[in-house]
Structure 1
Amino acid sequence: VSVIGRSTQGVRLMKLSQGAKVAAVEVVTHEEPEEEEAMQAEKAVQTEPTPAE
């Protein structure tokens, strides 16, 4: 959920079934990718597609 859209009231992230309850909530922080992971991702983008048979 973007920071901009989160300030709005009534934002629904998930619709629970009737009688269901949320057991836990976790905040996931943004992490910068490691240099090696970034290089691998860049390599994957630069590869040429394989022709279909």
Structure 2
Amino acid sequence: MNRLMTYEQWLELFKRQLRKYIKHKLAQVLYGVSMFMILTVPPLAMIIHWILRG
């Protein structure tokens, strides 16, 4: 993509790419957090329930 752009055009393109990058990273973080919760909370809840109820 070798084209000459004005600063305003470059700034608009940069902002769009930055928003896209942030959305992508946020989706990755939320996916990771949800997978962590799905895989760790049920066993921990079962262990805590077992300890409290005996």
Q: Please identify the structure whose Cα radius of gyration is greater.
A: 2
Superposition TM-score, scaled by structure 1 size? 0.28
TM-score under structure 2 normalisation? Answer: 0.27
Q: Which has the higher contact order (CA 8 A, sep 6+)?
A: 1
